[in-house]
Amino acid sequence: MQQQSHPVPHVTETKIVMSDPTALGVFGLAMVTFVASSQKMGWTSGVTYLIPWALFLGSIAQIWASTIDFRKNNYFGAIVLGVYGLFWIAVAMHWATSLGWFGPLAENADPRQFAFACIGYGIFSLFILVASLEANKVFAGILVLINILLPALALSLLKKGTPLGDVGHQAAAWSELLISLLGFYAAGAVFLNSYFGRTLLPLGAPMGWIRKGASQSALSF
């Protein structure tokens, strides 16, 4: 008896190619820190008009870029952009609450709780700093400044009205301004280098101090 053969179904695979979102995410960080630093430096006043930049550039831009990096299996970008994108949502909520947008909640609020949030973020940022050393030198520089900014913010809140608090405020202001300037350069460099397919603006080679495993070699920017 002859065995009847069945045709093998034709399978078509569709691959969706997504562009590198790094420039978008880093630009979001650069923009929000630039606007926020203007208030800390005393060039502008109040935080009302900082909130839209914190929500749309600091939060949405970075979180959007983070979700794309998760799909592209870019572990560093996915975690870093996601972590700091969520930070700026919380900061925007902090400012909005202090302005009374949610009613009289601010009457019993203790702003020092934000200081402890900065300390917590500072702890995790130390781990990110270690990883950034093996990404490139510009990102490592941004992370060094972030690790100055966060404890400085905490100090300015915990010691507000004292000379130590003033030192923390100044350190936070200058580090945030420098973060934004380095961020603009990094965003521009990633954009141009990716667009032209070659290095026009260098980001600096990884330090090469910590060897990656084979499975991690493609996970940095």
Reported as a pLDDT band with limits 50, 70 and 90, residue 218 is very low
pLDDT bracket for residue 93 (50, 70, 90): very high
6 in a domain, yes or no? no
Task: Give the whole-angstrom CA distance, residue 202 versus residue 191.
Answer: 12
- Which CATH number is 164's domain given? 1.25.40
Asked, for residue 116, whether it belongs to a domain, the answer is yes
The mean pLDDT value for 11-28 works out to: 76
Mean pLDDT of 172-195: 97
- Give a yes or no: residue 7 inside a domain: no
Domain hosting residue 41, numbered range: 22-207
- Cβ-based neighbours of 168, under 8 Å, separated by 6 or more: 151, 152, 153, 154, 155, 156, 157, 159
The verdict on residue 16 lying in a domain is: no
Is position 80 within any domain? yes
The total of structural domains in the chain comes to 1
The pLDDT assigned to 115 comes to: 96
118-148 pLDDT, tens digit each: 999 999 999 999 999 999 999 999 999 999 9
pTM, two decimals, is 0.87
